[in-house]
Amino acid sequence: MSNSLHLDIPRGVPWIDFTREFDAPVAAVFEAHRDPDKVRQWLGPHGYEMAIDRWDFTTGGGYAYTHTGEHGTFGFRGVFHTVRENEFALQTFEFDGAPDEVALEFMWFEDLGDGRTRLRGRSIGRTVEGRDAMVESGMETGMAEGYDRLEALAAGAGAGAG
Amino acid sequence: MSNSLHLDIPRGVPWIDFTREFDAPVAAVFEAHRDPDKVRQWLGPHGYEMAIDRWDFTTGGGYAYTHTGEHGTFGFRGVFHTVRENEFALQTFEFDGAPDEVALEFMWFEDLGDGRTRLRGRSIGRTVEGRDAMVESGMETGMAEGYDRLEALAAGAGAGAG
């Protein structure tokens, strides 16, 4: 079975749905989102250095980080409305290049058994146009590259080699 | 000019837009959102007692409150992604009767001059169906009643009678 990223981008609504399966246990996939030392190793497109100013992956917590690469430094921040271990996370997301164009991002962590996990997500922007601009910015490539690194990280952790 | 609440609920998208003008200065309308002692006096439909567990109207802050009336006690909570004084607020919003059906709510405070203010808002749900259910729950009446009380409160404060 393929573990590649699947995006669903329906016309006329402001959201993107995605799914990605991992050959790794749900606890390892969740931990790769919770622990900033792990997040730094996978989040974002290839070729960027991630610097985390804040990463508090708890209900009511928040985050702030930058990605630095050949095109410059890009900042991101948000708050975590809900985090439930190995199950669910809900965050806001803002790119400092598009101030106040905040998205709401739902993530469901699903235990598929046999040490496999499905991550399902919905990201909702303020407008359909903003959603479309995010898609055109190369979001899919960045997500796919990030999740490939997450899989390597979480599969290693799941095998006790983390 | 009428200060009544105007709602725009387009078909097929998950958001509601609203506007409400006030015969009160922008600082008074903003302060009625910031100060929990004031919030308690206006937020919600008529006939409910509001109890605030947390109200930290700042960027990265959050809130939790209950409304108690003849039909029972209803809880609400969220986080504030951004709060800029007299200008802008962006929060998440969750009703405990619909767990994880969180909305993202934008509010723009606009100084119209002559001691008048326009509040513009957009509330975006996770799904079109969830948005429609919120509308059918009587949201418009509750908002309209609350903003009528806010106007009385803020106009009094603006006239130095608060």
Q: Cβ contacts of residue A66 below 8 Å, gap of 6+?
A: A50, A51, A53, A73, A74, A75, A76
Q: What is the mean pLDDT of residues B63-78?
A: 96
If you measure CA to CA, which chain B residue comes closest to A13?
Answer: B13
Other C-beta atoms closer than 10 Å to the C-beta of A155 total 19
State how far the alpha carbon of B118 is from the alpha carbons of A101, A140, B23, B41, B66, in Å.
21, 38, 9, 20, 27
Query: What's the average model confidence in pLDDT over A97-101?
Result: 94
Radius of gyration of chain B (CA): 15
Give dist(CA B129, CA B86) in Å, integer.
Answer: 33
Query: B22-31 in b/e burial notation, b at 16+ Cβ within 10 A?
Result: bbbbbbbbbb
What is the nearest CA distance from B100 to chain A, expressed in angstroms? 8
Residues 109-138 of B with CB under 8 A from A: 122, 124, 126, 128
Band the pLDDT of B161: cuts 50, 70, 90: very low
User: Are A120 and A110 contacting, i.e. CB atoms less than 8 angstroms apart?
Assistant: yes
Cβ of B81 within 8 Å of Cβ of A92? The answer is yes
Instruction: Compute chain A's Rg from CA coordinates.
Output: 15
Distance CA A39, CA A26 (A): 15
Least confident of A46-55, A126-135, B11-20, B72-81: A126-135
B94 contacts A92? CB cut-off 8 A? no
Sequence-separated (6 or more) residues with CB below 8 Å from residue B32: B38, B39, B42, B150, B153, B154, B157
The tens digit of pLDDT for each residue in A16-57 reads: 999 999 999 999 999 999 999 999 999 999 999 999 999 999
Residues in A touching B100 (Cβ below 8 Å): 82, 88, 90, 106
Name B162's Cβ contacts closer than 8 Å, sequence gap at least 6. B28, B153, B156
Q: Look over chain A and give the mean of its residue pLDDT values, rounded to a whole number.
A: 94
Q: Does A158 touch chain B (CB under 8 A)?
A: no
Q: So where are chain A's domains?
A: 6-160
Tokens 């969180």 belong to which residue? B102
C-alpha–C-alpha distance, residues A88 and B98, integer Å? 15
What is the pLDDT, as a whole number, of residue B157?
67
The helix-helix angle for A139-158 and A128-136 (nearest 10°) equals 70
Q: Is the distance from CB of A48 to CB of A73 less than 8 angstroms?
A: no
Mean pLDDT (chain B, rounded): 94
pLDDT (tens digit, 9 = 90+) per residue, B32-44?
Answer: 999 999 999 999 9
Q: What is the rounded distance in angstroms from the CA atom of residue B88 to the CA atom of residue A68?
A: 29
Q: Helix (H, G, I), strand (E, B), or coil: what is residue B151?
A: helix
How many CA atoms does the CB half-sphere of A67 hold within 13 Å? 21
Instruction: Give the separation between CA B90 and CA B79, rounded to whole angstroms.
Output: 9
DSSP state of A79: E
Q: What is the mean pLDDT of residues B84-96?
A: 97
Write down the ipTM of this complex: 0.93
For domain A6-160, the CATH class is: alpha beta
User: What are the beta bridge partners of residue A94?
Assistant: A77
**A40 CB near a chain B CB, below 8 Å?**
no
Residue B79 with chain A: CB contacts under 8 Å: 60, 62, 79-81, 92
